[in-house]
Structure 1
Amino acid sequence: MEQPLTLHWQSAERYYTAMLAPDLFGGWVLVTDSGGRDSRGGRVQRKPMPDYPHGLDALRQLRHRRRREGYTLCSSSFTEFERIDAHSPDLRAAESAALQRVFLDWDISLDDQAVLLGIGSTALDSFLDGRPLPDEPVLLLRAKHLLAIHKALRLRLGHVPLIREWLRYPRVELNGRTPLDVMLGTLDDLSNLRGLVAQVSELAADCPGYRASQVTQTTTR
Structure 2
Amino acid sequence: MNQAAVAFNQGDQNRGALAKMVTRAFEHWKLGTEEQLAMLGLATNNRAALSRYRRGEPLAANRDLLERAGHVLAIHKNLRLIFPQDRDLAYAWMTQRNKAFKGLTPVDVIKEWGFAGMLTVRSHLDRVRGN
TM range (shorter): 0.7 to 0.9
Equivalent residues in 2 for 1:37-116, closer than 5 Å: 86-87=8-9, 88-116=11-39
Offset of 1:97 from its aligned partner?
A: 1.2
Q: Who is 2:120 aligned against?
A: 192
| 1:147 is the counterpart of 2:73 | yes
- Identical-pair percentage: 28
| Aligned equivalents of 2:29, 2:12: Cα separation in 1 | 25
CA drift of 1:201 comes to: 5.5
Kept in 2, the 8 Å contact 1:24–1:98? The answer is no
Task: Name the one with the larger helix percent.
Answer: 2
Give the corresponding residue for 1:133: 59
**Which structure has the highest strand share of the two?**
1
Pairing 1:167–2:94 present: yes
Question: Helix, strand or coil: the match of 1:86?
Answer: helix
Aligned length: 123
Contact 1:106-1:160 within 8 A present in 2 as well: no
Measured on the aligned residues, the alpha-carbon RMSD in Å equals 2.4
User: Which consecutive unaligned segments of at least 5 residues does structure 2 have?
Assistant: none
Preserved contact between residue 142 and residue 187 of structure 1 (Cα < 8 Å): yes
Give the corresponding residue for 1:66. Answer: none
Gaps of 5+ in 1: 1-21, 26-83, 203-221
Q: Is the 8 A contact 2:2 2:70 kept in 1?
A: no
1:154 deviates by 0.5
